[in-house]
Amino acid sequence: MREGEFAHLAAHLDELEAKGLRLNFRVLEGPQGAWLTIEGRRLLNLCSNNYLGLADHPRLKEAARAAIQTWGVGPGAVRTIAGTMSLHAELEEKLAAFKQVEAVVALQSGFNANGAVIPAITGPEDVIISDALNHASIIDGVRLSKAARRVYAHADVDDLRRVLGEPEVSGARQRLIITDGVFSMDGDIAPLDEIVAVAEEHDAVVMVDDAHGEGVLGAHGRGIVDHFGLHGRCAIEVGTLSKAFGVVGGFVAGLRTLIDYIRQQGRPFLFSTGLSPADTAAAIAAVELLAADDTLVRTLWANADAFRSGLEALGFDTCRTRTPIIPVMLCEAELAQTFSRRLFEEGVYAMAIGFPIVPRGKARIRAMISAAHSREDLDLALGTFARIGRELGVIEASAE
């Protein structure tokens, strides 16, 4: 390498370090679960999206092992050439039945799912109207589109209605409204019922990225569309297999015409190798498990309600969340980093989130609750939060 090559990148990294914004990655030394092993230490895990505890579930692991024995470890080609296995078709059929839609296409990740659908179905004659706090994968998918773009205030249906009434929006060939289902930083649920009603008033199409709602909201974890009873009224659902389903991958669900079109025009589907046999088989097992039994979903919600109410009783601000994503608002980034570090020292792994992921002055600890947690785990976490909260002056010293 030439001396000084990538010097501008090194300078940027130094700048991030100086501002406290450089990301540091913990290395796990065992499987995902209620507890993790990091640096030889056993820590209570409040960081993972493994909402139902399926990432280390015996049924999913056995399905993956069996698939490797039958199918090998890789599909060997993009799905449009020789990489589509009957396992892929089975997963898509079972997901479609679970989601109660006509068809599903599976992709390598939820990020890729947004990159496949948004640019494929929009063009210069169209307008995309996106929630201000939508996920980065939606933002990047919108940037890849040639459509005009508008942003409406977060979860503000009145502002959405205003944008839809703008002449350049109302006159477009297609108006595509996109929203997250559950927003990953505040844990709030999009008012999808109201969004769909406004969309119907304006002959617009609604797309929801339900990454944090799949396996969490709705009957048996069918997602936000089921939660609001909107089957047949929300045109596009994007989901992930890497959070509540415990595996890896993403999918798009909707009308067969939509899915057939993405198979023909969605670039991440066309030009990247699909899911491995092990991942696909494990995802099938997860869908089958959820379709048959909602015990894990009910346990998740009971755990989330218990932990949230415990934090609020102690005096912590949880930003009025009502999902298993529970932000503990600390406001200042330095305080959040200190709180997270003290939690780690005391055996609880919960990350600080600050700018630029959230706005300045909105730093927090983001606690992620799982069905794998026992009530003893949650009580231990609450006791640790209380002790450190009093130590750092976040809550009253008398808080119990």
- Provide the 8-state DSSP code for 360: T
Residue matched to tokens 């809550």 = 395
Annotated catalytic residue within 88, 94, 135, 243: 243
Residue 327 CA to residue 187 CA, distance in Å, equals: 7
| Cα–Cα nearest to 80, from 278, 275, 274, 258 | 274
Per-residue burial over 299-324, b = 16 or more CB atoms within 10 Å of its CB, e = otherwise: bbbebbebbbebbeebebebbebebb
Q: Is 212 among the catalytic positions?
A: yes
Q: Is 227 among the catalytic positions?
A: no
Hey, how many other C-beta atoms are within 10 angstroms of the C-beta on 370? 26
Residue 196 CA to residue 157 CA, distance in Å, equals: 10
Burial of 43 (0-12, 13-18, 19+ CB in 10 A): buried
Annotated catalytic residue within 109, 145, 184, 276: 184
Half-sphere exposure of 21 (CA within 13 A, CB side): 13
Hey, how many other C-beta atoms are within 10 angstroms of the C-beta on 44? 20
Q: Is 243 among the catalytic positions?
A: yes
| Residues labelled as active-site residues | 184, 212, 243
